[in-house]
Amino acid sequence: CGAIAALAAGRDRATVDAFQRWGVSIGLAFQAQDDYLGIWGDSAETGKSNTNDIARRKKSLPLLLGLAEPGTRDVILRAFANEQPEELEVVAVAAALADAGIGDRSLSMARAFQAEAESLLQAVPGEAARTGLLSMGRLLVDRER
């Protein structure tokens, strides 16, 4: 999206590439934060149950990270053997993810993608454009809902 705007504005290839890479990085940061909130977010803030993503077997970053951990993987696979995991299985998956530090790792990845996106803004000409993109990126990632 940003790359298209840069192309339409007649920017050079390096600027178009910076916009494109910024978009990918901020998108990954947003998704990592969203996946974190789907399990550990305050349901009063997010407006949805924090067990919903697990119960729906959503392919999220925390679950992918959990599958890489032998003990956690076993809990996830046991719960997901059923089309609709039981409530106790959903709670067990959330607990196993938390015990393995997956929440912290998910947030760390979101922040790393955000930092990468912010560093890419150095290649974007114009203070107003950089400031606007920086603000927009922070709104997308630094959120509780």
Buried b (16+ CB within 10 A) or exposed e, 104-135: ebbeebbeebbebbbebbeebeeeebeeebbe
What is the tally of structural domains in the chain? 1
Six token digits for residue 29: 């940061």
Domain that holds residue 137: 2-141
Give the SS3 label for residue 64. Answer: helix
Six token digits for residue 41: 């977010």
Mean pLDDT of 117-136: 90
CATH number at residue 96: 1.10.600.10
Is residue 112 over pLDDT 80? Answer: yes
Question: Taking all residues of the chain, what is their mean pLDDT, rounded to a whole number?
Answer: 93
Mean pLDDT of 90-104: 98
